[in-house]
Structure 1
Amino acid sequence: MGLVIIFALTSLLAGYGTFTALKNKNVLGIVFGAGSFAIFGWFTVMTVLNHGYPVAH
């Protein structure tokens, strides 16, 4: 459960960073922000699908 929260917060912050980099036209920030958003977002979705929400024992 805690891992899903950490992944979700990280992906939300990466999404915000990508949006900010888009406004500032920062290409390197866009690349790393979008990559982080995609990876951590994928980890979040797959962790929820694999372990359930809330955790089912």
Structure 2
Amino acid sequence: MQVGEFVFGVMMLVVAILSFIAIFREIKNRNFFAVAFATASLLLFGWYSVMTLYSQITGAITG
């Protein structure tokens, strides 16, 4: 397992969590343009981080 890729996956997961929080904050403010961008960020960074972490963890298990 490469530590750098694992750390990068965790950092992208933090960005996805912050995007999730931003969605609800912007819904409360009725800023739907920002909701769209936060949702897109959540989907993109969330998918990337989950797949990166999955790849790193399964690679470490299989050898």
TM-score (norm 2): 0.78
Structure of larger gyration radius: 2
**Identity, % of aligned positions:** 25
Segments of structure 2 that go 5 or more residues without pairing to the other structure are: 1-5
Deviation at 1:45, TM superposition (A): 1.1
Higher RCO (CA < 8 A, seq sep 6+): 2
Segments of structure 1 that go 5 or more residues without pairing to the other structure are: none
- If each structure's helix is expressed as a fraction of its own residues, which one has the higher value? 2
Q: How many equivalent residue pairs?
A: 56
User: Root-mean-square deviation (CA), in Å?
Assistant: 1.6
Residue of structure 1 equivalent to 2:40: 35
TM-score (norm 1): 0.85
